[in-house]
Amino acid sequence: MDYISAKSILSKSRTNEWFGTDYTMNLYKGCHHGCVYCDSRSECYQIDHFEKVRGKKQAIEILSKELSSKKKKGIVGTGSMSDPYNFFERSQKLTLRSLELFHHFGYGVSIATKSSLVTRDHQLLERIAQHSPVNVSLSVSTMDDELAKKIERAVSLPSQRLEAVRQLATSGIYTGVILMPMLPFLTDDWSTIELVVLKAAEAGAKYVYPFFGMTLRDRQKEHYFTFLAHYFPEILMKYKENYDRNYFCGIQNQAQITSKFYTLCDKLGMDYQMEKIIHNYQAPYVSNQGTLFD
């Protein structure tokens, strides 16, 4: 793995609406998972050779200085632009070492990943949870392992991700599923969505957070359409007919499926609204003054 220079690791979250994080962190640049729908390929993110993973030089040393110098502790989010549990994490352990720092300095963490490797760190996450909020989200678009091998070529299978949810939930970690994206004409039928929700509940997930569609723009759109042309040419024609130049591509029968989704989650006692998810995993750490990390 190549390393690139970095001046900083932490950045202030523009908004804490995404799992209530105060800071964001990316120890790696690029992602090897090969998800054909990933928006991070888009030109606006300026990540050339996106599927080549590069680590950041002296990331842990830089992160340690940043964490120790912050006047306000908080929750660090990771996994938005590059999966913190990529293949190289097994040997480089940048994510593991960052979690050790969060524990040492008293920070919380919210992780989004597609990798079952996250279970390696369950004991450390348990220790962090003794003093600060911890949340782990496993991203799932389908429970069909064979389809997943096509649309997510180099990542843990959906069945493995749900097993990771089960292991983390059993360890007492606040864990859930991010059901996104829902790919029109590929993974947006009710039977596919229902199965993800049922399997998530069975595994002990506290929530399923949905996104009823996908985004497509510039070079990401080109990449995705090339994939469809090879594997599903008939579906490619449907995209061109239904979405043309749209950035957001909503699922078919969205109103009916949304209603069914909410009803099923309510029946199973699972959250699906971001406000409730944030409240439920952070509430035990709120002081009498109504603030975190008081």
Tell me the pTM: 0.92
**Alpha carbon distance 100, 115 (integer Å):** 19
- Can you give the CATH number for the domain in which 80 is found? 3.20.20.70
157 within domain boundaries: yes
Radius of gyration of the chain (CA): 19
- Helix 190-203 crosses helix 254-268 at what angle (to 10 degrees)? 20
- Asked if residues 94 and 120 have their Cβ atoms less than 8 Å apart, the reply is no
* 248 beta partners: 215
293 within domain boundaries: no
Domain count, the chain: 1
Element (H, E) at 2: strand 2-4
30 within domain boundaries: yes
pLDDT of residue 289: 47
- Helix 59-69 crosses helix 94-105 at what angle (to 10 degrees)? 20
**What domain range includes position 191?**
2-275
pLDDT of residue 293: 59
* 23 beta partners: 12, 76
290 within domain boundaries: no
pLDDT of residue 61: 96
**Alpha carbon distance 141, 184 (integer Å):** 11
**Alpha carbon distance 185, 103 (integer Å):** 44
Amino acid 280 reads N
191 within domain boundaries: yes
254 within domain boundaries: yes
pLDDT of residue 249: 92
271 within domain boundaries: yes
223 within domain boundaries: yes
- Asked if residues 73 and 105 have their Cβ atoms less than 8 Å apart, the reply is yes
The series of mean pLDDT values per 10 residues for the chain, 294 residues long, is 90 85 92 83 72 90 95 91 90 96 97 96 97 97 94 92 97 96 96 98 98 90 92 94 89 95 97 96 79 62
